[in-house]
């Protein structure tokens, strides 16, 4: 018999969605266990309990972890009602996968995809401060004092966002960020008066982009371990706020 786990964890581990999204589905009455309306925090045995999520029975899948080199012009969603190109059109796997976080339509580079909601949450949640490295092409040469300002910290939405930036060409900056804030890199440069003309993500938590644009591959176990940090569980870090 499988050990019992929290319902939201079982849903996330089955690849339906993240644990946070699973809690929302439970809260809004979209989940039933053995015919009864589910409650957040209840324990289930996925091997014996009949778990219905939004009208579909839960079927545990083998875990899949992919790295995609996202091309420009693709949106980071599983589907699109307007018929725009989306990243799942580049993936040919039998499992139901979803992107880990987002890259803007005009941003290229490293994007993770998985069916493991728990893994996705650990990569995306700001409190884990997973490092992400980008190369940003700016509208003009960046001055040394502005690089120093970025490295000292830039205030965005009441949060002191600290990052590490180095100039690799007159208009190109390599920048490492950690907070997981939406459009973080573009907002950092906008804050100090620069416009990002092109943005490419090259690395997440020490895992490097390693294939041609539009191609993908499965992560190896050592990369998965690196993404999840020491022992597979990144340590939450406190966020710095203005006082």
For residue range 23-59, list pLDDT tens digits in order: 999 999 999 999 999 998 899 988 789 999 999 898 7
Segment 76-88 mean pLDDT: 91
**Has 104 been annotated as catalytic?**
yes
Give the CATH fold of the 5-57 domain: 3.10.290
Task: Extract the tokens encoding 119.
Answer: 């893994």
Q: Please report the pLDDT score of residue 1 as a whole number.
A: 38
Phi and psi, residue 150, nearest 5° = -60, -45
Q: What single string gives the DSSP state of each residue in the chain?
A: -PPPEEHHHHHHHTTSS-HHHHHHHHHTT-EEETTEEP-TT-EE-TTTS-EEETTEE-------EEEEEEPTT-BSSS--TT---BGGGG---SS--EESS---TTEEEEEEEES-HHHHHHHH-GGG---EEEEEEESSPPPHHHHHHHHH-EEETTEEE--EEEEEETTEEEEEE-S--TTHHHHHHHHTT--EEEEEEEEETTEEP-S-TT-EEEPPHHHHHHHH-GGG-PPP-PPPB--
Q: Select 131-204's CATH number: 3.30.365.10, 3.40.720.10, 3.40.30.10, 3.30.70.1560.
A: 3.30.70.1560
Q: What percent of the chain has pLDDT over 70?
A: 93
Contacting residues for 96 by C-beta, under 8 A, at least 6 apart: 15, 61, 115
Distance, in Å, from the CA atom of 149 to the CA atom of 188, rounded to the nearest integer, reads: 10
Distance, in Å, from the CA atom of 178 to the CA atom of 91, rounded to the nearest integer, reads: 27
- What is the pLDDT at residue 144? 96
What are the two backbone dihedrals, phi and then psi, of residue 79, each rounded to the nearest 5 degrees? -145, 170
190-203 pLDDT per residue, tens: 999 999 999 999 99
Domains 65-125+208-232 and 131-204 alike in fold:
yes
pLDDT at 235: 39
In this prediction, residue 230 has a pLDDT band, given cuts at 50, 70 and 90, of: low
Question: Considering the entire predicted model, what is its pTM?
Answer: 0.76
Q: What is the pLDDT of residues 99-155, one digit of tens each?
A: 999 999 999 999 999 988 889 988 988 888 899 999 999 999 999 999 999 999 999
- Is residue 51 within 8 Å of residue 57, measured between CB atoms? yes
pLDDT at 181 over 60: yes
**Separation CA 124–CA 127 (nearest Å):** 9
Tell me the per-residue pLDDT of 154-164, one tens digit each, with 9 for 90 and over: 999 898 999 99
Q: Which fold has domain 65-125+208-232?
A: Alpha-Beta Plaits (3.30.70)
Catalytic residue, candidates 45, 49, 80, 104: 104
Q: What is the mean pLDDT of residues 194-215?
A: 97
More confident residue, 198 or 77: 198
User: What are the domain boundaries of the chain?
Assistant: 5-57, 65-125+208-232, 131-204
């Amino acid at each position: 018999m499988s050990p019992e786990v929290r319902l939201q964890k079982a849903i996330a581990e089955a690849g339906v969605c993240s644990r946070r999204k699973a809690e929302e589905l439970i809260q809004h009455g979209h989940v039933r266990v053995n015919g009864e309306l589910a409650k957040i925090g209840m324990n289930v045995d996925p091997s014996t309990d009949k778990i219905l999520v939004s009208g579909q029975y839960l079927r545990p899948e083998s875990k899949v972890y992919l790295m995609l080199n996202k091309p420009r012009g693709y949106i980071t969603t599983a589907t699109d009602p307007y018929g725009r190109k989306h990243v799942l059109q580049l993936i040919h796997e039998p499992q139901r996968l979803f992107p880990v976080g987002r890259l803007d339509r005009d941003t290229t580079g490293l994007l993770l995809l998985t069916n493991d909601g728990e893994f996705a949450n650990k990569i995306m949640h700001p409190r884990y401060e997973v490092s992400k490295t980008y190369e940003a092409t700016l509208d003009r040469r960046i001055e040394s004092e502005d690089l120093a300002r970025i490295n000292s910290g830039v205030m965005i939405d009441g949060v002191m966002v600290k990052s590490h930036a180095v100039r690799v060409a007159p208009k190109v900056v390599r920048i490492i960020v950690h907070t997981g804030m939406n459009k973080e890199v573009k907002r950092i440069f906008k804050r100090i008066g620069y416009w990002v003309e092109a943005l490419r993500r090259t690395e997440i938590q020490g895992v490097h982009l390693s294939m041609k644009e539009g191609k993908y591959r499965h992560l190896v176990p050592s990369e998965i371990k690196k993404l999840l940090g020491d022992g597979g569980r990144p340590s939450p870090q406190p966020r710095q706020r203005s006082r």
